Amino acid sequence: MSDAPSHGTGQLRIHLQWALLLGSALVAAVYLAWSILARVDFLYPQAYDMLGIDQAIATYGPQNRLRRGFERTNRAERIRLFAQIVAAVFDDSGDLGQIVYHDADGAPIGRLLTRPEIVHLEDVARLVHVIDWIGAGAVGLWLTLLVLARWQRLPRPSMRRHGLAGGLVLTAVAAGVWLIGPERVFYRMHGWIFPEGHRWFFYYQESLMTLLMKAPDLFGVIALEIIALAALCYVGLLLVTGRVVRSVRRRASRP
């Protein structure tokens, strides 16, 4: 009878350790998906065609009150501009204030970003650095707990069950965003995240950045990309976790 509480405490500790390990794997999967997509500019060329960004630029470009001639750029130039913004925000490569847009013949027209847009993108860059720290911490925690589980020879839980649980979490997030409304979620999160007094909302008629991204439509597409790729990354991390723990159990069972 005296061993029962100790056994129950031990089982609870094991369950909590696995929950933390697999929870950190889920956060790491989202971060890996985010990082991978950033390296391919969040598939902007595909989103450009799907969202009809060329039509939006043709409509609102001539109406811009601060920047002229953006409608004279072509698809390749717009893809280059988006890639340049992503590089500046994610890798600190390049001066946002020096991004220039060109017409279809390659002649420079003017600088892309206004000062409030630059301030906003600098805020985004600082947020990206925070996400990098959180993501790196999640990857490090998953690896540490995986090594610990291997060393302790913990009994392996059902990887299928936890994979389904992770998939349900990602699906619930996607469903919640869809039910609340991507645009509403987009605006509310911006209001929470960015410093008070810093502009983050720009009309198409005053911001080539917003028009180039057809915000918030592009961010909805990017969110779906991250969720889909994160699900695949999570499955991969679960397979690695299961293989590492299973190999330990097999060696432990040999005579």
Q: Given a cut of 60, is residue 112 above it in pLDDT?
A: yes
Q: Given a cut of 50, is residue 231 above it in pLDDT?
A: yes
On average, the pLDDT of the chain sits at: 86
Closest CA to 213 of 116, 79, 88, 62: 79
Task: State the pLDDT at residue 156.
Answer: 67
β-pairing verdict for 108-111 and 100-102: antiparallel
Banded model confidence at residue 74, pLDDT cuts 50, 70, 90: very high
Return the percentage of the chain with pLDDT > 90, whole number. 58
Q: Given a cut of 90, is residue 190 above it in pLDDT?
A: no
Q: Given a cut of 70, is residue 163 above it in pLDDT?
A: no
**Higher-pLDDT residue of 189, 157:** 189
List % helix, strand, coil for the chain (3-state, nearest 5): 75, 5, 20
Task: State the pLDDT at residue 189.
Answer: 73
**Higher-pLDDT residue of 69, 227:** 69
How far apart CA 142 and CA 138 sit, in angstroms, is 6
Banded model confidence at residue 92, pLDDT cuts 50, 70, 90: confident
Segments making up each domain of the chain, as ranges: 3-253
**Higher-pLDDT residue of 147, 196:** 147
Return the percentage of the chain with pLDDT > 70, whole number. 87
CB 208 within 8 A of CB 101: yes
Torsion (CA) 27, 31, 36, 38 in degrees, nearest 10 = 150
Q: How far apart are the first and last CA of the chain?
A: 32
